[in-house]
Amino acid sequence: MHDRVSVKAGAAQVGGPSPWLVTVIAVATGALVANLYYAQPLIASIAPEIGVSPDLAGSVVSIGQIGYGVGLFLLVSLADLIENKRLVLTTVALTIVGLIGAAVSTAAAPFFAAAFLIGLSSTGAQVLLPFVAHLVPEARRGRVLGNVMAGLLTGIMLARPLSLFIAASFGWRAVFWCSAALMVAIGLTLARMMPRHRPRSGLHYGEILASMAGLLRGMPVLRRRAVYQGLMFAAFNMFWTAAPIMLADRFHLSQQGIGLFALAGAGGALAAPVVGRLADRGFLRSLTVGAMAVLGLSFYATGWAAAAGALVALVLLTVLLDAAVQTNQITSQRIIFAVPAEKRGRVNAIYMTVVFIGGALGSMLGTLTYHAGGWTGTATAGGAIGLLALILFATERVSSRR
């Protein structure tokens, strides 16, 4: 079926969306989420130009993350109320406004306002995920979600090195200008290709928000999957918060060298299509256990690699760690998107809000564990998170047997 044909609520297109549309959506999700991470390696350059003291330089990033957290709850849930194409294009337009605002800001207040808007509107990526699930037949849903998640994780992983490379040549403002131009191109492409999807929830916005508590209570699988991925994402953020410090301290890498390390680590995204196919074949429990085990073991092993000065081994372990996080994400979303179509926006909003909280806690743990025990302390904590996730998953299996 042609991509421009509207999709009725609750129905998937016969045969699913075209590969080109899936590619566009994957690029869009990656580019939207990347906006949260561009400023992270540039805070030392941005903060003095907008009048922020070194002690508060971290707020350059945290304001955007707060905006993203607010958007996950308040905007993503609108996918069950508002026509999805219009909602996505609105978030893209607001993101462009925020990026331009950040690029021209010369003081803290306008920059923080722009950063909050960027974070808030970048949640359009989380509207696209349940949207693409509407289009795909059940038998192929994991494969397509895997491809889209590969785009999302690639955006996260490439954001830091790209921002370093662009800023090194043209200054930090050019990073936001380049992203704004990319968002314009993505918005125009989505406007031309994205089919319409009008939900049939029959609820008002207040009822949509109020119903989310009931969904969380009534769906044990949603609670568990959100906690599993919250732990995995906490480990992911803990790693990428502390790893640049460790790479500079132990391997004496420059900013460009750290950017290349992050670029190599993005190879974990290559696992997504394979994981999606395995999820479609029913290997959901095996994928979950494997992801948790690989995360814990690979994170713990990075302590040895760093102590031994084995940079190549550290890169390979980083690829495994990233692939593990993505594997559990694809598996979890394959499971939670089995709900009726009119609930998927709210289910994804709840799920991603919990995951985001886990990620925020992981960012704090990254600096705390590194300053308390060096990279060995961070690696040990990461291994413990993988073990905790496995223990929690084992309680699910025991409960299901009963």
Reported as a single tens digit per residue, the pLDDT across 256-284 is 788 788 777 777 777 777 887 888 888 88
Among candidate residues 200, 228, 213, the one with its CA nearest the CA of residue 350: 213
Can you read off the two tokens belonging to residue 49? 């130009």
| Model pLDDT, residue 398 | 57
Reported as a single tens digit per residue, the pLDDT across 338-378 is 777 777 778 888 888 888 888 888 877 888 888 889 999 99
For the chain, list residues with pLDDT below 70: 1-16, 54-59, 199-203, 397-402
| Model pLDDT, residue 10 | 36
| Model pLDDT, residue 188 | 96
Query: What structural domains and CATH numbers belong to the chain?
Result: 19-401 (1.20.1250.20)
Q: What is the 3-state secondary structure (H, E, C) of 218-256?
A: HCHHHHHHHHHHHHHHHHHHHHHHHHHHHHHHHCCCCHH
Neighbours of 181 (CB within 10 A): 12
Q: What are phi and psi of 7, to 5 degrees?
A: -110, 125
Among candidate residues 62, 260, 65, the one with its CA nearest the CA of residue 162: 260
Would you give the DSSP letter of residue 268?
G
Q: Angle, to 10 degrees, between the axis of helix 124-135 and the axis of helix 19-34? A: 160
| Model pLDDT, residue 388 | 96
| Model pLDDT, residue 58 | 64
Q: Within 13 Å and on the Cβ side, how many CA atoms surround 117?
A: 19
| Model pLDDT, residue 329 | 87
* Predicted structure pTM score: 0.77
Neighbours of 23 (CB within 10 A): 14
| Model pLDDT, residue 399 | 58
| Model pLDDT, residue 226 | 93
| CA 198/CA 10 separation, integer angstroms | 9
The radius of gyration of the chain from alpha carbons, rounded to an integer in Å, stands at 20
| Residue 231 zone, left/alpha/beta (φ > 0; ψ -120 to 50; rest) | alpha
